[in-house]
């Protein structure tokens, strides 16, 4: 089966493209390399030295003799997108290709507008291209658990059955996202749902939680295949940041009270979830939503777990509660369903002492590359 991975030079996309290629899928990567450019503009770098995409792919081919096609361009450019699709003729498209940082989207008006145009227009173009030329192609789109926000009731997988004035209906679950980035994902979900309804497209929205970890079976094969690992205050995410902070003896940066609770998953499960979604496609006209996370933790508890693992390695790990740069509930109810991917066969890697040890050891290997000035958060929600 031919699968096009949009955003295949990024953190989740690179690991997924190699995993699918390893599993025998014929894979193409489409990426604008915009993320490398945004990093350069912000003067931040991944902890790990990532090779240029062409070198990564050449090394992969040398090691495995499985070739991956490369399409360099931006999906907001419709002509480019159409040409790439005609060249590759995908049977499934995995769409990771968006601006994915909440802080980046909250820097100022320009970054908010850019994020929403890049994400919403890109996805709309993908929908139109599928509708016009590849109507049977299954779209697997990365959404986010943050689309739901933190409601005071259980979070369902995409839909909720409601009784109102004696009548009942099953409706999209209410959305209360916490940044202009998370809002862009809500807009995408609505657009994809609508396209499935009016044109009969088939799509799966993977509402993914926060991803942690760096090694997958394939990216660990060689240093040239190494994945990115972000630690800075804009693109770094909670657990990855805490492990790198511990490795350089920087106090862990818990924002506010630390009771913020989110769904989390190991990057080895990200690649497996996408594989499961592709292997079990949605039906025509179906807009399927899977909650893609394996465990939920509060940020404060994660910091304590990293501290414990660091102390066991003989390190001195401090936890700091910073003034929260975001506007979000710091203590709240959070209970989200995540059974659909398990029902399809996902066997989760749960966060364990051994994973934390390996992430801490990994961070130590590259700690000389850390720019300490990039650790503290600089973007505030309510400036």
> Cβ 8 to ligand NAD, closest distance in Å?
7
Spatial contact of 45 and 39, defined as CB atoms under 8 Å apart: yes
What whole-number distance in Å separates Cα of residue 322 and Cα of residue 299? Answer: 12
**What does the angle CA 79 – CA 83 – CA 87 come to, to the nearest 5 degrees?**
170
What whole-number distance in Å separates Cα of residue 204 and Cα of residue 141? Answer: 6
- Out of ligand NAD, ligand USQ, none, which partner does residue 35 contact, by CB within 5 to 8 A per kind? ligand NAD
Residues found in the chain: 383
For 267-317, give the secondary structure using H, E and C.
Answer: HHHHHHHHHHHHHCCCCCCCEEEEEECCEEEEHHHHHHHHHHHHHHCCCCC
Spatial contact of 263 and 302, defined as CB atoms under 8 Å apart: no
Element (H, E) at 250: none
Q: Which residues make up the interface to ligand NAD (CB under 6 A)?
A: 7, 9-13, 31-35, 74-76, 96-100, 118, 122, 142, 144, 208, 210-211, 228, 237
Cα 279 vs. chain centroid, distance in angstroms? 20
Binding mask 122-161 for ligand USQ (x = CB under 6 A): ----------------------xxx---------------
- Out of ligand USQ, ligand NAD, none, which partner does residue 1 contact, by CB within 5 to 8 A per kind? none
- Out of ligand NAD, ligand USQ, none, which partner does residue 219 contact, by CB within 5 to 8 A per kind? none
Is 144 catalytic? The answer is yes
Binding mask 23-62 for ligand USQ (x = CB under 6 A): ----------------------------------------
The catalytically annotated residue of 185, 215, 307, 340 is 185
What whole-number distance in Å separates Cα of residue 348 and Cα of residue 270? Answer: 10
Of 190-198, 248-256, 269-277, 342-350: span binding ligand USQ (CB under 6 A)? 248-256
The catalytically annotated residue of 46, 76, 123, 144 is 144
Spatial contact of 115 and 99, defined as CB atoms under 8 Å apart: yes
Please pick, from the candidates 56, 95, 100, 138, the single residue that binds ligand USQ as defined by CB under 6 A. 100
The catalytically annotated residue of 181, 212, 231, 366 is 181
> Cβ 59 to ligand USQ, closest distance in Å?
27
Cα 246 vs. chain centroid, distance in angstroms? 23
Binding mask 171-190 for ligand USQ (x = CB under 6 A): -----------x--------
The dihedral over CA atoms of 81, 85, 90, 93, expressed in degrees to the nearest 10, equals 0
Q: Which of 271, 260, 255 is nearest to 375 (CA)?
A: 255
> Cβ 205 to ligand NAD, closest distance in Å?
11
Of 46-54, 73-81, 124-132, 251-259: span binding ligand USQ (CB under 6 A)? 251-259
- Residues forming contacts to ligand USQ in the complex (CB under 6 A) are 100-102, 144-146, 182, 209-210, 237-238, 241, 253-255, 260, 262-263, 299, 326, 328
Q: Which residues are catalytic?
A: 144, 181, 185
């Amino acid at each position: 089966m031919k699968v096009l991975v949009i955003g295949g030079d990024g953190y989740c996309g690179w690991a997924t493209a190699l995993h699918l290629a390893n599993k025998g899928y014929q894979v193409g990567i489409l990426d604008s390399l915009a993320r490398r450019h945004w990093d350069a503009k912000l003067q931040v770098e991944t902890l790990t030295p990532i090779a240029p995409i062409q070198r990564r792919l050449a090394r992969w081919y040398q090691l495995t003799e499985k070739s991956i096609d490369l399409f360099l361009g931006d999906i907001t450019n419709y002509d480019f997108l159409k040409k790439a699709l005609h060249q590759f003729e995908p049977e499934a498209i995995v769409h990771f290709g968006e601006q994915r940082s909440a802080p980046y989207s909250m820097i100022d008006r320009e970054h908010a507008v850019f994020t929403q145009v890049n994400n919403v227009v890109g996805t709309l173009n993908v929908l139109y291209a599928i509708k016009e030329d590849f109507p049977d192609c299954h779209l697997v789109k990365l959404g986010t658990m943050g689309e739901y926000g933190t409601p005071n009731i259980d979070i369902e997988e995409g839909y909720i059955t409601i009784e109102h004035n004696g009548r009942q209906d099953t409706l999209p679950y209410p959305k209360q996202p916490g940044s202009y980035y998370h809002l862009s994902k809500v807009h995408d979900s609505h657009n994809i749902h609508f396209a499935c309804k009016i044109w009969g497209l088939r799509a799966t929205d993977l509402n993914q939680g926060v991803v942690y970890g760096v090694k997958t079976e394939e990216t660990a094969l060689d240093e040239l295949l190494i994945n990115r690992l972000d630690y800075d205050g804009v693109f770094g995410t909670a657990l990855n940041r805490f492990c790198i902070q511990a490795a350089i003896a920087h106090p862990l940066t818990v924002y506010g009270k630390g009771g913020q609770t989110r769904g989390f998953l190991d990057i080895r499960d990200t690649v497996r979830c996408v594989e499961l979604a592709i292997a079990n496609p949605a039906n025509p006209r179906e807009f399927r939503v899977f909650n893609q996370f394996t465990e939920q933790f509060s940020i404060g508890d994660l910091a304590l777990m990293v501290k414990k693992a660091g102390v066991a390695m003989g390190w001195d790990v401090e936890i700091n509660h910073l003034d929260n740069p975001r506007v979000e509930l710091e203590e709240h109810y959070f209970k989200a369903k995540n059974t659909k991917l398990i029902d399809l066969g996902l066997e989760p890697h749960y966060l364990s002492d051994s994973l934390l040890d390996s992430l801490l050891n990994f961070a130590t290997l590259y700690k000389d590359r850390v720019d300490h000035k990039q650790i503290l958060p600089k973007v505030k929600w309510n400036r």
